[in-house]
A and B are shown apart, each in its own frame.
Chain A
Amino acid sequence: MTTTAPPPTPARSAPTPGPTWWERFRGGSAWIVITTVAVIIAFWEFFPQTGLVNRVLFPTFSETVAAFVQLLGGGYWWDDLAKTMSAVAIAWVIGVAFGFTMGVVLGTSPFMRQAITPYAIAVQALPKVVLAPLLIGWLGFGPESKIALAVIICFFPVWIDTMVGLALPSANEFKLMKSLKASRWQVFTKLQLPSALPMIMVGVKHALLLAFTGVIVAEILSASDGGLGKLTKEFASQLNMGLVYSVVTIVVILSITLVSIADVIERRVVFWSEESRARRK
């Protein structure tokens, strides 16, 4: 980040005796978060014990924690985790590559845009999960079908964001390039692609979460290849809801981690974008 800071970078001030942690806690917004979490946990712990809901279906917080510890202790799910994450990674890479290629083709060729846009809209309007049985039928119960579903679900935002991004440069920017007699390739690499990059990064991040969704849905539907999706389905059918909660928690932690990493990378790559600049302030 230091490389992109403005020249009059204010020197980091010498550490002064700051407020104590209690003052910071009272003064900041941390107490709001902590209070909210405490209320939710209290509700989670006591509501199932009131008898208003079935305790088997709605385990308490402490039972969930115990199940989580049990899950972490038993190493049997590592294989499922690896299967899910490798499928997400493969689907994401394929989806981004395919979406980007489509975006470039349609973003640079008015003819292709005219020809393909109606189908693109039709495909996007379709709830793509409905294709899962078809893909499983075609590709079998192995990783191929879940990767295929995830690719179909995740490539779209990359495609659209690339296509729209390439059209972002202003008329004056194109005019400048033209006045320098830049080739089409130069206009693409030196103007259109960098201009589109902030939008493409948004699509790529979006695709990551969609790939995750696609893989887990396929795992729940086809089950035989394993994965975290299969795990939740199995635990749910055993009515072991504490373990289902635990797997869900793992999925939440994974997706938050992935998005956070993507955010950091995004801010480095497209440091000039309005959003990156706003977040640096």
Chain B
Amino acid sequence: MTTMTQTAPLVRVDGVTKRFGSGDKEMVALSGLNLEVREGEFLSLLGPSGCGKSTALNIMGGLLEATEGTVTFSGEQLTEPNRHIGMMFQQAVMFPWRTTLENVLLPVEIFGEKKKDFIPKAEELLEMVGIKDFRDSYPWQLSGGMQQRAALCRVLLHDPKLLLLDEPCGALDEFTRESMNQELLRLQDYAKSTAVLVTHNITEAVFMSDRVAVMSARPGRLVDIIEVPFDRPRRPDLQTTNDFIKLVAKARQMLELQ
């Protein structure tokens, strides 16, 4: 760590291009993406569907290989999934044969650690998101929002440096989505991790983020980055202030100008 302003970025995406298929069927999902994710920030990748934002996220998580370009995480080139990177998907992905607690402890088993050592932490997280009473229930006994909260606990159990969120609230209804977003912000702050959120919801992107990376569709390309200057913690009524509405309008304009 040097000075606060000059810290090296946690993630550096360098000229990343991703092509699927070959020949006539070749599809360019992502074209020459350059992006830096700063330590501790909340960054959103905002764009229409098919702009390659999920592809970019999967490459940053080491799930997909870039056709060209490199991704650097904590100063090292990233080629495979890393246990300091936690991913959340649009679906909660809870295994129905495991209780909530057992689902939260899944990474512990995969990493070959002792479950006992992580039970207190898991219970603390479940308590924080308000579903501790359901620790011994099965996922099919929980609502979609509760399942996604459990998934949040699972991803935070190992204090990931980087949280990659692939529209984790996309499948939830509007009310659940809003409270879930609050939960996300609170816990990201609590865990002091860096977060990258993929979304196509402009208001959500502006509300959640320190910076919004606006992307264009086919082939996916970075248009511009909007700085969001509002203080944290962010309250829902921020969304009705003039400054907020102006920023949303700016982002919308960028999306439409393409």
Interface residues of A (CB under 8 A from B): 4, 6-7, 170, 172-173, 175-182, 186, 190-191, 194, 197, 270-272, 277
Contact = CB atoms under 8 A, between A and B. Distances in A.
B87 interface: yes
Interface of A is mostly: helix
Given A175-B93, A177-B110, 18 more contacts: A4-B138, A7-B141, A170-B91, A172-B89, A172-B91, A173-B95, A176-B87, A179-B61, A179-B62, A179-B86, A181-B82, A182-B110, A186-B109, A194-B95, A197-B97, A270-B97, A271-B97, A272-B140
A172 B151 CA distance: 13
Interface in B125-162: 133-134, 136-138, 140-141
Interface string B84-114: 0111011101011100000000110111000
Q: Across chains A and B, which 4 residue pairs bring their CB atoms closest together, nearest first?
A: A272-B96, A179-B87, A180-B110, A6-B141
A190 B110 contact: yes
30 contacts: A6-B138, A7-B133, A7-B134, A170-B91, A170-B93, A172-B91, A173-B95, A175-B87, A175-B89, A176-B87, A176-B89, A177-B110, A178-B63, A178-B81, A179-B63, A179-B81, A179-B87, A180-B111, A181-B81, A182-B110, A186-B110, A190-B95, A190-B106, A190-B109, A190-B110, A197-B97, A270-B97, A272-B96, A272-B140, A277-B140
B80 interface: yes
Interface of B: 61-63, 80-83, 85-87, 89-91, 93, 95-97, 106-107, 109-111, 133-134, 136-138, 140-141
Contact of A191 (B83, B95, B137, B141): B95
Contacts of B111: 180
A281 to B, nearest CB: 12
A172 B93 contact: yes
Interface centre among B81, B82, B97, B133 (most CB of A within 10 A): B97
Contacts, number: 63
Contacts of B110: 177, 180-182, 186, 190
A272 B62 CA distance: 32
B63 A175 contact: yes
A179 B134 CA distance: 26
Contacts of A272: 96-97, 138, 140
Nearest to B92: A172
A170 B110 CA distance: 19
Nearest to A179: B87
B85 to A, nearest CB: 8
Contact of B107 (A173, A180, A191, A270): A180
A7 B141 CA distance: 9
A277 B140 CA distance: 10
Contacts of A175: 63, 87, 89, 93
Nearest to A183: B110
Contacts of A194: 95, 97
Given A175-B63, A179-B61, A182-B110, A6 B137 contact: yes
B106 to A, nearest CB: 7
A178 B85 CA distance: 12
A182 B136 CA distance: 24
Given A6-B137, A175-B63, A194-B95, A180 B89 contact: no
B210 to A, nearest CB: 24
A180 B106 contact: yes
A206 to B, nearest CB: 22
A176 B93 CA distance: 7
A190 to B, nearest CB: 7
Nearest to A4: B138
Contacts of B140: 272, 277
A191 B106 CA distance: 11
